[in-house]
Structure 1
Amino acid sequence: MTPFYSWRGEDLLLDCHLQPGASRIGFAGLHGERLKIRISAPPVDGKANSMLLAFLAKSFGVSKREVVLVSGQTSRQKRVAISAPRQLPEELAIQRP
């Protein structure tokens, strides 16, 4: 199985499956080969994307401007780039190169 993440230099790329409108926010294991993330914001007017980027920034110890939505603007399947994460959430078991 391919991991849901990859490294591009110091940057971490995450392949995510977003579940907007969830009752609670957080990582929810894997959905196929993607990391499932629950977000309480609805999928309208970019609210779910904004909440996703803020959640990932907090989880990886970076500012919001260091988290970029690479692809999947209007899809549940997203790719996100995190510039030089300062911390890696233990529950994800991400290994540095």
Structure 2
Amino acid sequence: MLRHEAHQGLALDRKMAKKNKVNIVGEVETFNPKKMKSFYGWDGDVLVLNVLGTPSAKKDAIGKPKGTQLKISVKAAPVAGKATDYMVRFLAKEFGVAKNDIEVVFGRMNVNKQLRIKAPTKLPRSIAQLEK
């Protein structure tokens, strides 16, 4: 294949990637969370979730979306990331996955977080309603 043809193919791949909200890194496509218009998005079978956490709440709960974040309250106190660890355990039950299937991308010690949940078997009402 000529170099020009390869360059054209890459340009087409980039256009498709932009349309589908993914980045191309080398030959691997990665999800671009900055282009999410909602509080969640799918990267294959991985659910990417933007979270606004509320520690020290009266009860554990998945709340309503607020802009591009989903409000999630947990009873745990915000001490050295323990509220986030507790949130991961809570969400693992809610999404029907093991706690190791939830990755905290950023925000372990912050109320603003991004989580990646591998192959959830259940969806909370706030997401399930939007999936219909």
Going from structure 1 to structure 2, the CA distance change for 1:94 and 1:82 (only over 3 Å counts) comes to: farther
Root mean square deviation, CA, Å: 1.7
**How many residue pairs end up in the alignment?**
96
* TM-score normalised by structure 1 residue count: 0.90
Aligned with 2:75 (options 40, 58, 79): 40
What is the CA–CA distance in structure 2 between the aligned matches of 1:94 and 1:48, rounded to whole Å? Answer: 27
Q: Percent identity?
A: 36
Relative contact order: is structure 1 or structure 2 higher (C-alpha 8 Å, sep ≥ 6)? 1
* Higher relative helix content: 2
TM-score normalised to the size of structure 2? Answer: 0.68
What is the aligned partner in structure 2 of residue 4 from structure 1?
39
How far apart are the structure 2 equivalents of 1:18 and 1:58? 17
SS, match of residue 131 in structure 2: coil
Q: Which 4+ stretches in 1 moved above 3 angstroms?
A: none
> How far apart are 1:19 and its partner, in Å?
0.3
Name structure 1 gaps, 5 residues minimum. none
| Alpha-carbon shift at residue 6 of structure 1 (Å) | 0.4
Larger Rg: 2
- Native 8 Å contact 1:20 1:41 kept in 2: yes
Q: After superposition, what is the alpha-carbon deviation per residue over 1:35-79, rounded to whole angstroms, capped at 9, x for unaligned?
A: 000011011022101111011110100011001101112211000
SS across alignment from 2:92: helix
SS in 1 for 2:91: helix
SS at 2:123 equivalent: coil
